[in-house]
């Protein structure tokens, strides 16, 4: 992970996690920053599940907390200590007002809840099936006591012809109970999503869903996400096919929004752990979002 | 470095496919030749928490609990030039006005090697 100044286009620092950064099967995944405390929540996933479509869910999954002010890791919780490697695919995290962390797993859909100090992990919404190859939750966000989750709905995330669904959870409940969020207009599918993001600018009323091979779908809710308006999709048309994969979006400053186009390394440079590319675009989609919200 | 002129983003509005596209000639590609263009006279951006941003507090007025602490970012589409970065997820710190970017490296190669992905990629290519 790097610390980056977008205004100067300058990398300021690199953050590594001992025992994770250089371990082949460990992979940084979901990322969340608590704006009040400066604490980063980082999900570390194990690679096998994503290589096998959930057939192999072995390996260690972690939730790591890092204090950006003190510049040190606070703690890490081994999620596999609860799952016993019977399910997995953890790749995103959200935080509730009481400091509990909610980590979504994809193979199959499930949510783990981690206590504020990382000393208690519970299967808050356990898997509803033992079939780990059913592609489930991929992204999570929170607004107040409400968790919002996107479900791949059984379609592998690398496909574009998805039919994702949005669910709402109440974090004040001792156990997770998904409630389907109806979307309007009826009949428009929500493509296969990777992450969902509620940009700060809109106070939790606007969601950007990053869709693999498609782009970013903009949704809005006027009733606390009991229902959602699916406003439209900002498509990506990268020159290279692999780069059309849109893993996430981010806000910079008070009112600018960006779509991160994912590049894949292709051939690994001998003696290193990555490909040979050096230019990585962040696409400004602010005007398109504003047009859809107008 | 500027992006490929073939890049374009198009907004599809519902089923109607109402387009609000950017120009294909790269007219929206402002690049990052001048990275200071977004500061708006904000002075030294710095690396500290809140340092140099006092003049900007509250000037956003765009809503969002933290969105007004940092200056408007007016650079438009930009590129990060760092060998082997491969950014995947990013979060913006509205207090210090910097970003944390998680990047991928060798693991994504393995992800692409998954049989299902390869089949999907081939199918997509066939459709193009």
pLDDT in tens, B8-66: 233 332 222 222 222 222 332 323 333 333 333 333 333 333 333 333 333 333 334 55
| Contact A233/B at CB under 8 A | yes
B74 and A CB contact within 8 Å: yes
The answer to whether the CB atoms of A42 and B102 lie below 8 A apart is yes
Q: Which of A202, A264, A276 sits opposite B63 (nearest CB)?
A: A202
Output the six-digit token pair for B68.
Answer: 């007004």
Residues B58-113 have pLDDT tens digits of 333 333 455 458 999 999 999 888 887 778 889 999 999 999 998 765 444 334 33
Packing angle between helix B115-127 and helix B106-113, nearest 10 degrees? Answer: 70
The closest CB to that of B35, out of A9, A42, A53, belongs to A9
Task: Please provide the average confidence, as pLDDT, over all residues in chain A.
Answer: 90
Over range A22-30, report the average pLDDT: 70
Q: Which residue of B1, B61, B77 is in closest CB contact with A284?
A: B77
Residues sharing a CB contact under 8 Å with residue B28, sequence separation 6 or more, in sequence order: A284, B9, B22, B76, B77
Domain that holds residue B109: 31-127
> What does the pLDDT read at residue A212?
75
Q: How far is CA A33 from CA A24, A88, A94, in A?
A: 25, 23, 9
Q: Which CATH number fits domain A135-294: 2.40.128, 2.120.10, 1.10.10, 2.20.25?
A: 2.40.128
Count up the domains in chain B and report the number. Answer: 1
Domain boundaries, chain A: 1-87+111-125, 135-294
Neighbouring CB atoms inside 10 A of B48's CB total 12
Q: What is the mean pLDDT of residues A276-287?
A: 87
Asked if B24 is an interface residue toward chain A (Cβ–Cβ < 8 A), one would say no
What is the enclosing helix (H) or strand (E) of A279? strand A279-284
Q: What is the pTM of this model?
A: 0.80
- Is residue A214 within 8 A of residue A232, CB to CB? The reply is no
Tell me whether A281 touches chain B (CB under 8 Å): yes
User: Are A89 and A57 spatial neighbours (Cβ–Cβ below 8 Å)?
Assistant: yes
Residue B8's pLDDT is 29
User: By C-alpha distance, which of A248, A202, A194, A200 is closest to A221?
Assistant: A202
Is A161 at the interface with chain B, CB within 8 A? Answer: no
> d(Cα A70, Cα A68) in Å, to the nearest integer?
6
pLDDT computed for residue A243 by the predictor = 55
Instruction: Say if B43 is an interface residue toward chain A (CB within 8 Å).
Output: no
Interchain pair A68, B39: CB under 8 A: no
Q: How far apart are CA A230 and CA A209, in angstroms?
A: 10
Q: Residue A285: which residues within 8 A CB-CB, separation 6 or more?
A: A216, A234, A249, A257, A258, A259, B9
**CB contact at 8 A, A78 and A60:** yes
Among A4, A42, A278, beta carbon nearest to B83? A278
Closest CA to B7 of A86, A274, A169, A283: A283
Instruction: Please tell me the predicted confidence (pLDDT) of residue B120.
Output: 41
Q: Which of A141-145, B86-90, B124-128 has the lowest mean pLDDT?
A: B124-128
């Amino acid at each position: 992970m790097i610390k980056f100044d977008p205004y100067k286009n300058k990398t300021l620092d690199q953050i590594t996690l001992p025992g994770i950064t250089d371990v082949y099967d460990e992979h940084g995944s979901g990322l969340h920053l608590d704006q009040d405390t400066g604490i980063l929540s980082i999900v570390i996933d194990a690679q096998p599940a994503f290589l096998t479509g959930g057939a192999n869910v072995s390996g260690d999954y972690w939730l790591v907390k890092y204090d950006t002010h003190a510049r040190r890791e606070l703690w890490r919780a081994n999620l596999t200590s609860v799952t016993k490697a019977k399910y997995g695919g953890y790749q995103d995290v959200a935080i509730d007002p009481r400091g509990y962390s909610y980590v979504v797993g994809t193979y199959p859909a499930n949510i783990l809840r981690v206590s504020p100090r990382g000393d208690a992990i519970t299967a808050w919404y356990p898997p509803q099936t033992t079939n780990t190859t059913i592609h489930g939750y991929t992204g999570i966000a929170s607004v107040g006591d409400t968790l919002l989750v996107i479900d791949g709905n059984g379609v592998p995330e690398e496909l574009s012809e998805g039919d994702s669904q949005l669910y709402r959870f109440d974090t004040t409940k001792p156990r997770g109970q998904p409630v389907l969020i109806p979307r309007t207009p009826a009949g428009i599918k929500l493509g296969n999503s990777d992450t969902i993001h509620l940009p700060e600018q809109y106070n939790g009323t606007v969601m950007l869903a990053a869709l693999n091979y498609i782009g970013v779908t903009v949704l809005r809710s006027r009733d606390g996400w009991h229902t959602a308006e699916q406003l439209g999709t900002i498509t990506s048309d990268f020159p290279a096919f692999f780069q059309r994969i849109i893993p996430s979006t981010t806000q910079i400053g008070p009112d600018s929004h960006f779509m991160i186009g994912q590049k894949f390394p292709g051939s690994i440079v001998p003696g290193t752990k990555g490909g040979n590319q050096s230019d990585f675009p962040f696409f400004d989609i602010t005007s398109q979002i504003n047009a859809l919200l107008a | 470095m500027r992006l490929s002129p073939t890049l374009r983003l198009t907004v599809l509005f519902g089923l109607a496919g109402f387009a609000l596209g950017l120009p294909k000639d790269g007219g929206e590609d402002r690049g990052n030749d001048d990275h200071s263009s977004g500061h708006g006279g904000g002075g030294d951006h710095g690396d500290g928490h809140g340092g140099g941003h006092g003049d900007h507090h509250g000037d956003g007025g765009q809503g969002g609990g933290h969105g007004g602490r940092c200056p408007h970012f007016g650079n438009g589409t930009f590129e990060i030039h760092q060998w082997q970065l491969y950014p995947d997820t990013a979060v913006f710190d509205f207090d210090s006005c910097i970003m944390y970017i998680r990047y991928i490296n060798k693991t994504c190669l393995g992800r692409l090697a998954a049989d299902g992905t390869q089949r999907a990629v081939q199918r997509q290519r066939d459709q193009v």
